[in-house]
Amino acid sequence: MVLLYKTISMPKTNLKAFSGQELESLFREWDLPAFRARQFLHWIYERHAVSIEGITEFSKDLREKLAEKAYVSNLALLEKRIADDGTEKFLFGLEDGESVESVLIPDDNRLTLCISSQVGCAMRCRFCITGKLGLRRNLRAFEIVDQIISANRLISPRRITNVVLMGMGEPLANFDEVVQALWRIREHLKISKRRITLSTAGIVAGIRELPERAPRINLAISLNATTDAVRQRIMPVAKANPITALLDACRRFPLQRGRRITFEYVLLKGVNDTSEDAKRLTALLKGIPAKVNLIPFNPHEGSEFQRPDDERVFSFQAILMAGNLTAFVRKSKGADILAACGQLKAGYR
């Protein structure tokens, strides 16, 4: 029995799962000085090393010793698609066989990566295909960050300059792992907090807690309606998070100097696209440093909604602008490869 027991090997430790501090204490337990942990982080986050073996700054001996008890996990690139407008969509496989999508959006001098925070999503917004999957599981912090590490490797020598948590999942419903990921994106990937945006379906408690726990990043709110009745019909999360409470949390949200909260508004024909809606929206956002991104609905298989015609979209925008709101119409990028807002389903049926 004893012999048999000995042949069963201990599972190896995934070094990517640790924060910088945790890694230093782990290395200390293994009699390695703190600077080894810092070297490790540099090679993994900035120098595209995909294994302990690849950290050539470590001696061969050290690499072999580490590899006996530890390893470095990586996302598997399962598929890459490029849209006519240059948007790229990556399908990444996770260690347990689940998968997520990330979308690379090149734009002037920026390279924005839209990353996922969950496999699937529990919010069940009726216009979004990710919601149809339900929640399969939360991503771990390292899996969230790994989407950026992998993308950086794939586009090298270019680098991701901006990150938006707007892919699959509701980031504030996976709060602790997302907060961890935000710190690592800032400290290890060295992306400035001004270039990181978290988008939420509007979980009030999470919006309140975020500035206390995470770096001061930009906030985007998927508002999508101007009355609770309509909002509740298209976004079940609105039942527990009424518009007044949501906007109140936005008013209290500490913004960086000169920054505004982004309000996303999916335009659904005949549902939330009337001139009255535009006027109500202007009134609701009074006093909040805000900008509005109007997103004409992106259709997907079996969707019950339609996109309003351009005339309606632009007159909606005109009403907001007449009320002194900054409002953009977002051209949906990557729709031909199902990489646009609300079209991510990572190959799931």
Torsion (CA) 124, 128, 133, 134 in degrees, nearest 10: -20
Indicate which single residue of 210, 246, 341, 346 sits in contact with ligand SAH (rule: CB under 6 A): 341
Helix and strand numbers (H, E) in the chain are: 12, 14
Contact 194, 256 (CB under 8 A): yes
Answer for which of 199, 218, 226, 241 binds ligand SAH (CB under 6 A) is 199
Q: Which of residues 223-282 bind ligand SAH (CB under 6 A)?
A: 224, 264, 266
Find, among 287, 292, 288, the residue nearest to 320 by Cα: 292
Residue 109's CB is within 10 A of a number of other CB atoms, namely 6
Query: Strand pairing partners for 79?
Result: 91
Verify binding: residue 200, ligand SAH, rule CB under 6 A.
yes
- List the structure tokens of 329: 């119409």
CA atoms of 195 and 193, how far apart (whole Å) = 5
Q: Any contact of residue 297 with ligand SAH (CB under 6 A)?
A: yes
| 114 classed as catalytic | no
Q: Say if strands 326-329 and 290-296 run parallel, antiparallel, or are unpaired.
A: parallel
Question: Quick one: which of 13, 18, 24, 12 has its CA closest to 140?
Answer: 18
With respect to ligand SAH, which residue has the nearer C-beta, 127 or 253? 127
In angstroms, what is the minimal distance from the CB of 272 to ligand SAH? 11
Mark the segment that binds ligand SAH (CB under 6 A) among 76-84, 197-205, 240-248, 317-325.
197-205
Question: Which of 37, 201, 219, 327 is in the footprint of ligand SAH by CB under 6 A?
Answer: 201
Q: Does 166 bind ligand SAH (CB under 6 A)?
A: yes
Sign of CA dihedral 236, 270, 207, 150: positive
CA atoms within 13 A on the CB side of 29: 7
Stretch that binds ligand SAH, among 148-156, 193-201, 206-214, 276-284 (CB under 6 A): 193-201
Nearest to 342 by CA among 276, 284, 296: 296
Catalytic-labelled residue, pool 88, 101, 170, 177: 101
**Residues 103, 113 contacting (CB under 8 angstroms):** yes
Cβ at position 97, least distance to ligand SAH in Å: 23
CB closer to ligand SAH out of 108 and 301:
301
Active site residue 209: no
> Which one of the spans 3-11, 87-95, 194-202, 209-217 is the region binding ligand SAH (CB under 6 A)?
194-202
**Interaction of residue 160 with ligand SAH, rule CB under 6 A:** no
Cα–Cα dist 97/94, whole Å: 5
For ligand SAH, the binding residues in 55-114 under the rule CB under 6 A are none
Catalytic residue among 121, 128, 250, 341: 341
Site pattern 120..149 for ligand SAH (x: CB under 6 A): ---x---xx---------------------
Say how many residues touch ligand SAH, by CB under 6 A: 17
Contact 173, 122 (CB under 8 A): yes
Residues that bind ligand SAH (CB under 6 A): 123, 127-128, 166, 170, 199-201, 222, 224, 264, 266, 295, 297-298, 341-342
Known catalytic residues are: 101, 341
